[in-house]
Chain A
């Protein structure tokens, strides 16, 4: 056992964010205690080997100073690319600030756990802080685009998005780029105020040997709605951790996802919904399609706290294996401490319906095209929930063989 985690942290340098001492200390202790990357003996990484990540040689990409101004766009864009970043001007009700300027007190609200988040706390090199004022509805979508390209870059970012009471906003998180070898670690905190509505579309499409770790932490207040669609395609190695703290009464959470693995790709989706207050609802729906030697992982956990009565939680995970060497590991978990709840989950793994395939082929549609159509139909529920036109187009392109 080497201390490869500590060495990896040194590679990434020191954060440019003003993190409160408490968090930094906690993260430092966490890394020191762990010393090396988790192995498959550690439950959260049971199906995901990190040996390749531990061996990466990377240099941090810093996003310092003020962003260049973007003009004349229909969307509000924030772009991180090769050490420079751009940002649209603020509009009424929406403020944008560099994460470097966020005060230590504002970061205080979150607790970090796991080596990915600890690394982020210690080494983040930028990020965006977005605040939507109470009661405002932002018409244009807010796009945060990450382009990690070139060789050996490490993009470690920490975003904070505050949606105040009764505000509405639509956000697109886009991860693209073509890198020979890269490491990303992007942590996004969402604070969803009372009766606020947040819709997030997340698109991950990175070329090359890109090791991506994406964490979203969502804190929901009373009667708020948070919806997120995570679509992953064409990524060498992706690990998504979505953790929702449904703290206020009658909050609604929707987590949808679709992932497409080819070659030797690995896509690992972890979700964790904490139902901490009564009358909450959550709805999860993840679809996986795997070709070649790709590996998929889905681990969804729903925890209902003792005082959180009248919870209605649903979780579904369906997977298609389209090649004999592909593999899928699913672990839908329920941990329930309240009695007046309705929680259920379902998980299936199988292949395309041979009859449906035959029906299409009998009508002169090639097998490849028929497969494409059926895969599209299989994921339709998730695709329909995506509002972003940009992502819709990208999905269509990706799925056309």
Chain B
């Protein structure tokens, strides 16, 4: 804890708003590079043929193909949802390519076999595998376009019986586990994008922690959309068996393109009795340029199922994407289970975010906490949308929600749409929300003590997000903090 605090201060002192702005005028979106790797791309469009093609390409068993086809049928009968507080040109689902894989997608025998250009991509992202392996002890699974390209630290994890691999690998090597849990938390009929994902998902990560095992390191996946004209549809399934613990990190980037790219992922978490899953995301898809052109549409379904006394904690830092539509949720099914949601969502320029959570209390003595911090700048729109639902049998349930919004600039919007539904008299629900700009008194206080306006703003914003950033693992917290400053570049002063 102490180490973290010191580190924060160094980052802040060394990186003022002005320097940042200068840095960024030249730099803009620093992940906006395209890696020149030949890739295997499916023809644009979606029909049964394409789904069969993907399934065959991945040598999938029959049951999975059937799962996909069934999902496709469901998807065809569904309407694209319109209730979110966002406006965008709906993607043309027949113009997207549903599968793009780096050409040499054969299994790598050792790290040296990996295409040097791919390694370059990774180091540009700041996640050079070698370095990570040696220094941080984080096991990384890297998903580029649709295919997982390298999973590190596998052997060490295997000793403990932990399975951490790409989704397609899991389908081949642990079909029973995948079959047992796939679609149990987010059924294919759940919503339009979940159905689409179920039909066409190409890869993703799979993780299984056996009974009573505490995963000794943080597991991490990086997602990247590289090829143009493609969508990314990955699927993550994390299963924590009884009394186990895992902390899982997820990062996302995409190259700068004029077109809108679609990202429709599904994440399913299963926390069995007394298990704990901590799931952290730093989402930094390309947000579009200053005029709102291009950017990723991030339509994601994330949900966790908590059995008896299990705990799922979602932490997210959302700075990218042109349009975000994302509600990491917890179904508190077991008695005494706990759900947590910590979120910082930053929107700038023409970004739009409609994000929040759902806490469904089914079991007795269930608890949930929601802390959501929204920051809107430029001409962006940032909405919190949340549901707290206490069912009749959920005796003694407890919820605390806090959603704060910070407005920077007169052309942006900040909105709050909380739904609170209570069917049990034993429940205690508290919800509070505030919307304001940075207090003039706070600014004055800092400036009066010799802190420049820019620094003061940066200080206040960091303090404002601290509750959430503190939930992140150290490396992520630093990255998130930098991202936060980058995203707000030019919006203050």
Interface string of B206-231 (1 = CB under 8 A from A): 00000000000000000000000000
A43 within 8 A of B: yes
Stretch of B66-74, B311-319, B403-411, B470-478 that contacts chain A: B403-411
> Is A374 in the interface zone, CB < 8 Å from B?
no
Q: Mark B70-92, 1 if CB is under 8 A from A, else 0.
A: 00000000000001010000000
- Give the contact stretch, choosing among A111-119, A250-258, A328-336, A357-365: A328-336
Contacts of A338 in B (CB 8 A): 407, 410
Provide the bound-state CA to CA distance between A337 and B382, in Å.
Answer: 10
Please tell me which one of the listed residues B412, B419, B427 contacts residue A331 in the complex, with CB atoms under 8 A apart. B419
- Any chain B CB within 8 A of the CB of A367? no
Interface band, chain A:
35 or more
The answer to whether A333 touches B416 (Cβ under 8 A) is yes
A59 interfacial contact with B, CB 8 Å: no
A330 near B433 with CB under 8 A, answer no
Q: Which residues of B contact A325 (CB under 8 A)?
A: 392, 425
**Is residue A346 contacting chain B, with contact meaning CB distance below 8 A?**
yes
A333 touching B415 in the complex, CB below 8 Å, given contacts A339-B409, A346-B431: yes
| Chain B CB within 8 A of A348 CB | yes
Q: List 15 A-B contacts (CB under 8 A).
A: A323-B425, A327-B423, A330-B419, A331-B417, A331-B418, A332-B416, A334-B405, A337-B412, A340-B410, A341-B435, A341-B436, A345-B433, A346-B431, A347-B429, A349-B420
Residue of A nearest to B390 (CB): A349
CB <8 Å contact, A329 and B429: no
B268-300 near A? 1/0 per residue, CB < 8 Å:
000000000000000000000000000000000
Q: Tell me whether A344 and B418 are in contact in the complex, defined as CB-CB below 8 angstroms, given that A339-B410, A350-B429 are known contacts.
A: no
- Chain A CB within 10 Å — which of B420, B429, B430 has the most? B420
- When the two chains form their complex, are residues B430 and A348 in contact, meaning their CB atoms are under 8 A apart? yes
Binary contact readout A266-304 vs B (1 if CB under 8 angstroms, 0 otherwise) = 000000000000000000000000000000000000000
Question: In the complex, are the beta carbons of B433 and A334 less than 8 A apart?
Answer: yes
A297–B303 Cα gap in the complex (Å)?
A: 27
The residue of chain B having its C-beta at the shortest distance from the C-beta of A351 within the complex is B425
CB of A268 to closest CB in B, whole Å: 14
Task: Evaluate contact between B431 and A348: CB separation under 8 angstroms.
Answer: yes
Nearest CB in chain B: distance from A322 CB, A: 7
Question: With A337-B413, A339-B408, A341-B407 in contact, is A324–B431 under 8 Å at CB?
Answer: no
Q: In the complex, what residues of B have CB within 8 A of residue A329's CB?
A: 419-422
Contacts of B437 in A (CB 8 A): 339-341
Q: Which of B405, B430, B431 is close to A332, meaning CB atoms less than 8 Å apart?
A: B431
Q: Is B414 in the interface zone, CB < 8 Å from A?
A: yes
User: A325 to chain B: closest CB distance in Å?
Assistant: 8
Q: What's the Cα separation between A341 and B419 when bound, in Å?
A: 23
Residues of B near A350 (CB, < 8 A) are 427-429
Across the A-B interface, give the 3 residue pairs with the lowest CB-CB distance, nearest first: A321-B425, A339-B407, A344-B434
Is A39 an interface residue when CB atoms closer than 8 A count as contact? no
- Complex alpha-carbon distance, A344 and B403, angstroms: 10
Q: Which residue of A lies closest to B432 (CB)?
A: A346
Nearest CB on A from B182, distance (A): 30
Partner of A347, one of B410, B415, B431, B435: B431
In the complex, whether A306 has a CB less than 8 A from a CB of chain B is yes
Does chain A have a CB within 8 A of B490?
no
Whether B251 is near chain A, meaning CB under 8 Å from some CB there, is no
Decide if A336 touches B83 in the complex (CB within 8 Å).
no
Q: Is B424 an interface residue (CB 8 A)?
A: yes
User: What is the bound-complex CA distance between A184 and B196, given in angstroms?
Assistant: 47
| Contact between chains at A321 and B422 (CB < 8 Å) | yes
Given A340-B437, A345-B433; A334-B428 close (CB under 8 Å): no
Question: Of B85, B411, B416, which is within 8 A of A306 by CB?
Answer: B411
B418 near A43 with CB under 8 A, answer: no
CB of A374, distance to nearest CB on chain B (Å): 15
**Chain B residue nearest in CB terms to A330:** B420
Among A47, A323, A346, the most chain B Cβ lie within 10 Å of the Cβ of A346
Which chain B positions have C-beta within 8 A of A337? 412-413
Judging by beta carbons under 8 Å apart, are B425 and A324 in contact?
yes
B-contact 0/1 string along A40-52, CB 8 Å cutoff: 0001000100000
The verdict on A228 contacting chain B, using a C-beta distance below 8 Å, is no
The chain B residue sitting closest to A332, CB to CB, is: B418
Does A342 make an interface contact (CB < 8 A)?
yes
Asked if residues B415 and A334 are in contact (CB atoms below 8 Å), the reply is yes
Q: Do the beta carbons of A348 and B429 come within 8 Å of each other?
A: yes
Looking across the interface, which residue of chain A has its beta carbon closest to that of B408? A339
Q: Which of A47, A306, A336, A341 has the most CB of B within 10 A?
A: A336
Residue of B nearest to A46 (CB): B419
Q: Is the CB of B436 within 8 A of A343?
A: yes
Q: Answer whether residue A122 sits at the interface, using C-beta atoms and an 8 A cutoff.
A: no
- For B410, what are the chain A residues with a Cβ–Cβ distance below 8 Å? 306, 309, 338-340
For the complex, what is the distance from the CA of A350 to the CA of B413, rounded to whole Å? 32
CB of B32 within 8 A of chain A?
Answer: no
Instruction: Please give me the residue from chain B that is nearest to A301 by CB atom.
Output: B417
CA of A329 to CA of B419 in the docked complex: distance in angstroms?
7
Are A43 and B424 neighbours in the complex by a CB distance under 8 Å?
no
Alpha-carbon separation in the docked complex, A332 to B425 (Å): 20
Given known contacts A324-B424, A324-B425, A339 and B416 CB-to-CB distance under 8 angstroms: no
Residues B431 and A336 in contact, CB atoms below 8 Å apart: no
Q: Which residue of B lies closest to A321 (CB)?
A: B425
Closest Cβ neighbor of B428 among chain A residues: A350
Interface centre among B411, B421, B427 (most CB of A within 10 A): B421
Neighbouring B residues of A345 by C-beta, 8 Å:
416, 431-433
User: Is there an interface contact between B405 and A336, defined as CB atoms closer than 8 Å?
Assistant: yes
Instruction: Contact check, B407 vs A331: say whether CB atoms are below 8 A apart.
Output: no
A327 touches B422 (CB 8 A): yes
When chains A and B are docked, how far (Å) is the Cα of A324 from the Cα of B427? 10
Given the complex, which residues of A lie within 8 Å of B430, measured CB to CB?
Answer: 346-348
Selected from A321, A342, A348, the residue in CB contact (under 8 A) with B436 is A342
Q: How far is the CA of A274 from the CA of B223 in the complex (A)?
A: 42
Q: Once the chains are docked, how many angstroms separate the CA of A338 from the CA of B392?
A: 40
User: Which of A201-249 touch B at CB < 8 Å?
Assistant: none
A128 within 8 A of B: no
User: For chain A residues 55-110, which have a beta carbon within 8 Å of chain B?
Assistant: none
User: Within 8 Å CB of A326, what residues of B?
Assistant: 425
Contact A347 B418 (CB under 8 A): yes
Chain B 374-420 residues near chain A, CB threshold 8 A = 392, 405, 407-420
In Å, the complex CA distance between A43 and B81 comes to: 14
Residue of B nearest to A340 (CB): B437
- State the CA gap A245–B146 with chains docked (Å): 51
Chain B residue with the shortest CB-CB distance to A298: B420
Residues of B within 8 A of A43 (CB): 83
B361 to chain A, nearest CB (A): 12
Min C-beta distance of A121 to chain B, whole Å: 28
Are B435 and A336 neighbours in the complex by a CB distance under 8 Å? yes
Q: How far is the CB of A136 from chain B (nearest CB, A)?
A: 39
A347 and B399 CA atoms in complex are apart in Å by: 11
Chain B residues with CB below 8 A from A319, complex form? 422
